[in-house]
């Protein structure tokens, strides 16, 4: 569906330059490389403006920096061009194919409650006393155990397993292969035999609104109480979260990072890929952990906006000094 | 179901203090934070005794340290409080919902043999010549290929894939998304073309009794012979085990650790999270590998009870000295 | 099925020593440890020749080094013994059980097109406008979304999820639990609220011929354009590949490695396990990255045949010097 630049400008609160382009239409978004005349593109800095102007795009979302000089293409001027592009994309995206209701091959327990417009894909199982909110879509081959509660407007992709007693908020997107609410890892050795016996893993997993969970992530339920993922958390693929972990709002975690049992992550932390956080760690709000760094058991890491790196994780300035000292020491021996 | 403290004391071989509490009943277990009057809690050291006494719990499992002084709540005194708590939890847990037999949507080959009380969940497939032991439960959406043998009393959660010729002992718990018996990673370059051809991956995977396998783990079959996971091994989520690996009894491996082909892990090793063990490595019995450490190809690591850390993995004392030396070197330059 | 050594010698272009063994037959392959008289084994160096001769194998594939001295067993002499063994294995392997056609429990969209001899396993779903090439086998519990194209002679194991618009070449083997074409990880913070909004992830995933993808791998689609995996790439288990990544031909990547968005890997690179490659990195052709090393954002790594190690990744010679310097510094303090 195509829209005029005026419509789009109003939608994202942009200034259209020149105003004479108001009736021009676009219908999609694209990268600079692949854009055609029907597409919108965006640039965040003056550095890429020439490339955007040279592209085949129909119009450009840009910041104030773009307004100087002559205008070869219509510009939509906004404060946050990338954010405006995201919102245009949402506005322009085609409505998803209707797939309302329960596929005939799905097995849904008679005591499960599905909201208006909810759907369950082929070969999925929905257990006793499950609730699924309005417009939530469950993909194919999902297993949703007893007493799970999923909010409204969620998307659960295919091959997802959700263990019993997991609760999920609204507008949550869970990618394929994710496992939610599995048993935590806790075993107690019998000092007499050396054999391990399993500590009870009977707690809950609680996931807030607007969370995204990447493909093949695993999030364990609490041992006795709850594992908590707060509103707005975004997990990349293959992130592992242990039992009793608490993750604050708007935390972003890149792929293959693992967080061990009972650790706490404050709001708005940014955590790189392949980071390892041991058990009973506290990462205070706003901390940034560089890729592959490691935080040992029980540590407290603080400093909003401070970047930590290395294992054991230390402020990046210190770590870089150490790397430089190491290079000097190796050289002095030559 | 509620039980008297006398019954529980007998079950875990505890001394009840005071004996007058023998007829008091409890029905569950809980953490100190969430316990109510119906719940048992435990404390392992004097440090947490006050918190346990201040909790709403009905009774406390504790060590001898707790017996001094006045008693505000009934105590169950044992040698290993955490272990006793585990056993009480098993004793008190409610019997699982009956789900006997094969779900009508499951596809079970006529030559498969199911033991008494075994069950197969919705949309699972059980192949030719598979045997499944008594009381073993297969969840939803599992794929169990030909000639797999699973013992008695196992739980295979949903969305598990088991390749042909895998054998699994008794009381094994496999969590969702795990892949057992997949092809190992072996490719041979043709020196003339530079292209790789696949080395045969036709061996077996053999898993002993009382093993737990976390969500989304992958364990490859042997190339020509077998990959072997011995009795009592516990794997956290997303552990990867390559072809021809042998893991000894009562080994514990935390999340996201990977073990490459043909490596051997001795009995009772404890391996942290995100550890990398290259191919043809030998980890002797009782070694402890700290989180994120790395063991290069062909190395032998020995020392029961010795902790290794870093990459390449070295005794932790040495590694900590090196970290201290590095910090000094960086500082001296300032 | 058994074959004469003459037949096998012709098949792999080997010199049979002694020629008098030409009519002897073998029917399988095995390791030195498990071989019986019906099996072929191989040795790549003189070091293992005695063990091969002492084994119960019927014949040995070896290099010229084996021809000296008396011959206790028939030898098949070739240039590349391991490669010849691989090819014999392919020649000897029994044809797979026939499983032609669509299982009655599979849900295949009427607009999907299946090639001659293609099969779809139990409880799999094949979406609208999907094409599946001749002889391609889809396992159980797979979810293949709309507009996916899979070539000929592929094997898709059980519990695989393939998102819409993914294209896959010929002879590709995808192991269980893999997720192909999932959304990339891109979120844009609104500076006013601190909340993240999702960047569009509407690109494609394109996989070339002869690719192998290990169990529980995740490969994201491009954000606006494509993620590209070229011909002959081999991925071990649990490899993560982010959006817009491009991987060149004949690249081999060991388990649990992750490659972040928009990075490029040149042809014939060899990448160890648990390696982390950040975003917008360029790894030039032929580079070798040691296990667990890390390449920070935007870096360019070059040098065909050069091994890099550590984080940040540096040439291994330099890294080893640094490790030695560190050990000296720690010791000098004692």
Looking up tokens 């690591």, which residue turns up? B301
User: What's the rounded mean pLDDT across residues A13-31?
Assistant: 95
**Yes or no, beta carbons of C185 and A234 under 8 Å apart:** yes
User: What is the reported pLDDT for B97?
Assistant: 60
Residue in C83, C159, C334 closest to B188 by CB = C83
Alpha helices in chain C (DSSP H): 5-12, 49-54, 81-92, 316-332
Given a cut of 70, is residue C196 above it in pLDDT?
yes
Show the tokens assigned to A152.
């409204």
User: What is the reported pLDDT for B98?
Assistant: 59
Question: Which chains sit next to B, with 3 or more Cβ pairs under 8 A?
Answer: A, C
User: What's the rounded mean pLDDT across residues A177-187?
Assistant: 97
On chain B, the residues whose CB falls within 8 A of the CB of A328 are: 329, 333
User: What is the reported pLDDT for B70?
Assistant: 64
On chain B, the residues whose CB falls within 8 A of the CB of A240 are: 236-238, 255-256
Q: Which residues 6+ apart lie within 8 Å of C72 measured at CB?
A: C53
**Yes or no, beta carbons of C276 and A268 under 8 Å apart:** no
Q: Does A55 touch chain C (CB under 8 A)?
A: no
Sign of CA dihedral A321, A323, A325, A331: negative
How far is Cα of residue A131 from the mean position of the Cα atoms in its chain? 23
**A140, C162 in Cβ contact below 8 A?**
no
**Yes or no, beta carbons of B188 and C86 under 8 Å apart:** yes
Task: Determine the angle formed by the axes of helices A316-332 and B316-332, rounding to 10 degrees.
Answer: 90
User: What is the reported pLDDT for C69?
Assistant: 63
Residues 152-181 of B with CB under 8 A from C: 159, 161, 163, 177, 179
The confidence band for C244, taking pLDDT boundaries of 50, 70 and 90, is very high
What percent of chain B has pLDDT above 90?
93
**B265, B246 in Cβ contact below 8 A?**
yes
Q: Which residues of B46-60 are buried (b: 16+ CB within 10 A; e: fewer)?
A: eebbeebbebebbbb
Given a cut of 90, is residue C306 above it in pLDDT?
yes
**B84, B61 in Cβ contact below 8 A?**
yes
Q: Does B33 touch chain A (CB under 8 A)?
A: yes
Minimal C-alpha gap between C193 and chain B (Å): 34
User: What is the reported pLDDT for C68?
Assistant: 78
What percent of chain A has pLDDT above 70?
97
Q: Does A210 touch chain C (CB under 8 A)?
A: yes
On chain B, the residues whose CB falls within 8 A of the CB of A159 are: 141, 159, 177
Minimal C-alpha gap between B298 and chain C (Å): 14
Q: CA C69 to CA C55: how far, in whole Å?
A: 18
Minimal C-alpha gap between C196 and chain A (Å): 7
**B80, A190 in Cβ contact below 8 A?**
yes
Q: Which residues 6+ apart lie within 8 Å of B222 measured at CB?
A: B184, B201, B203, B204, B205, B243, B244
Q: Which residues 6+ apart lie within 8 Å of C96 measured at CB?
A: none
Closest listed residue to residue B272, CA positions, set B258, B257, B287, B282: B257
Question: Which chains sit next to C, with 3 or more Cβ pairs under 8 A?
Answer: A, B
Q: Does C329 touch chain A (CB under 8 A)?
A: yes
* Model confidence pLDDT, tens digit, residues A135-165: 999 999 999 999 999 999 999 999 999 999 9
3-state SS class at A7 = helix
Q: Does B256 touch chain C (CB under 8 A)?
A: yes
Q: How many CB pairs under 8 A join A and C?
A: 182
User: What is the reported pLDDT for A96?
Assistant: 64
Q: Does B294 touch chain C (CB under 8 A)?
A: yes
Pairing label, strands C75-77, C15-17: antiparallel
Selecting among C165, C175, C243, C319, the annotated active-site residue is C243
Q: What is the DSSP letter of C225?
A: S
**C25, C37 in Cβ contact below 8 A?**
no
Closest listed residue to residue A292, CA positions, set A322, A272, A312: A272
As a whole number, the mean pLDDT across chain C is 95
Q: Which residues 6+ apart lie within 8 Å of B53 measured at CB?
A: B60, B72, B73
Show the tokens assigned to B229.
């996971």
Minimal C-alpha gap between C304 and chain A (Å): 23
**C99, C119 in Cβ contact below 8 A?**
yes
On chain A, the residues whose CB falls within 8 A of the CB of C202 are: 29, 89, 93
Given a cut of 90, is residue A214 above it in pLDDT?
yes
Selecting among B175, B240, B243, B319, the annotated active-site residue is B243
User: What is the reported pLDDT for A332?
Assistant: 82
**Yes or no, beta carbons of B87 and A141 under 8 Å apart:** no
Neighbouring C-alpha atoms within 13 Å toward the C-beta of C302: 1
Exposed / middle / buried, residue A72 (Cβ in 10 Å: 0-12, 13-18, 19+): exposed
The confidence band for A23, taking pLDDT boundaries of 50, 70 and 90, is very high
Q: Does A278 touch chain B (CB under 8 A)?
A: yes
Q: Which phi and psi angles does B314 have, rounded to 5°?
A: -135, 165
Q: Which of B89-93, C45-49, C257-261, C329-333 has the lowest mean pLDDT?
A: C329-333
State the complex-level ipTM: 0.95
Given a cut of 90, is residue A290 above it in pLDDT?
yes
**B237, A185 in Cβ contact below 8 A?**
yes
**Yes or no, beta carbons of B175 and A196 under 8 Å apart:** no
How far is Cα of residue A236 from the mean position of the Cα atoms in its chain? 6
Neighbouring C-alpha atoms within 13 Å toward the C-beta of A214: 37
Closest listed residue to residue C243, CA positions, set C231, C256, C229: C229
Q: What is the DSSP letter of B48?
A: G
Q: CA A294 to CA A281: how far, in whole Å?
A: 11
3-state SS class at C9 = helix
Q: CA C205 to CA B208: how far, in whole Å?
A: 40
Q: CA B214 to CA B220: how far, in whole Å?
A: 15
The span from the first CA to the last CA of chain C, in angstroms, equals 67
Q: Which residues pair with B42 in a beta bridge?
A: B61
The span from the first CA to the last CA of chain B, in angstroms, equals 67
Show the tokens assigned to C2.
């058994």
Mutation for C interface: A94, A177, A217, A290, most C CBs within 10 A: A177
Residue in B83, B141, B175 closest to A179 by CB = B175
Q: CA C148 to CA A247: how far, in whole Å?
A: 36
Given a cut of 70, is residue C97 above it in pLDDT?
no
Radius of gyration of chain A (CA): 25
Q: According to the 3-state scheme, what is the secondary structure of B175-190?
A: CCCCEEEECCCCEEEC
Show the tokens assigned to B298.
């062909």
Q: What is the DSSP string of C288-324?
A: EE-TT-EE-TT-EE--TT-EEETTTTEEHHHHHHHHH
Nearest chain B alpha carbon to C103: B107
Q: Element (H or E) spanning B294, and its range?
A: strand B294-295
For the beta carbon of residue A251, count every other beta carbon within 10 angstroms.
Answer: 25
Which stretches in chain B have pLDDT values below 70? Answer: 69-70, 95-99, 333-334
**Yes or no, beta carbons of C237 and B218 under 8 Å apart:** yes
Q: CA C325 to CA C321: how far, in whole Å?
A: 6
Nearest chain B alpha carbon to A292: B292
For the beta carbon of residue A180, count every other beta carbon within 10 angstroms.
Answer: 29
Q: Which phi and psi angles does B182 have, rounded to 5°?
A: -70, 165
Mutation for B interface: C63, C254, C320, C331, most B CBs within 10 A: C254
User: What is the reported pLDDT for B71?
Assistant: 73
């Amino acid at each position: 569906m195509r829209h005029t630049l005026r419509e789009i400008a109003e939608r994202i609160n942009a200034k259209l330059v020149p105003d004479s382009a108001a009736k021009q239409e676009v219908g999609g978004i694209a990268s600079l490389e692949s854009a055609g005349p029907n597409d919108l593109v965006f640039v965040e800095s003056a550095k890429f403006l020439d490339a955007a102007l040279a592209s085949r795009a129909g119009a450009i979302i840009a910041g104030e920096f773009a307004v100087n000089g002559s205008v070869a293409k219509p510009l939509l001027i906004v404060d946050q061009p990338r954010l405006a592009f995201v919102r245009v994309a949402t506005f322009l995206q085609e409505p998803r194919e209707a797939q309302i209701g329960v596929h005939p091959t799905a097995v849904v327990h008679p005591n499960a409650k599905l909201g208006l417009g909810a759907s369950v894909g082929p070969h999925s199982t929905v257990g006793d006393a499950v609730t699924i909110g309005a417009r939530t879509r469950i993909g194919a081959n999902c297993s949703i155990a007893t007493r799970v509660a999923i909010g409204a407007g969620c998307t659960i992709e295919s091959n997802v397993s959700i263990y019993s007693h997991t609760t999920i908020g609204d507008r949550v997107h869970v990618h394929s292969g994710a496992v939610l609410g599995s048993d935590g890892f806790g075993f107690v050795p019998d000092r007499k035999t050396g054999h391990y016996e399993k500590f009870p893993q009977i707690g809950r997993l609680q996931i807030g609104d607007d969370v995204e969970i990447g493909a093949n992530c695993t999030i364990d339920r609490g041992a006795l109480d709850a594992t908590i993922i707060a509103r707005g958390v975004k997990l990349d693929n293959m992130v592992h979260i242990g039992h009793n972990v608490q993750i604050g709002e708007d935390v972003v975690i890149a792929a293959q990072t693992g967080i061990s049992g009972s650790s706490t992550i404050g709001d708005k932390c940014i955590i790189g890929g392949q980071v390892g956080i041991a058990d009973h760690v506290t990462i205070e709000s706003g901390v940034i952990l560089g890729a592959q760094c490691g935080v040992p058991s029980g540590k407290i890491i603080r400093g909003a906006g401070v970047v930590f790196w290395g294992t054991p994780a230390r402020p990046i300035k210190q770590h870089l000094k150490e790397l430089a000292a190491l290079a000097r020491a190796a050289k002095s021996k030559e």
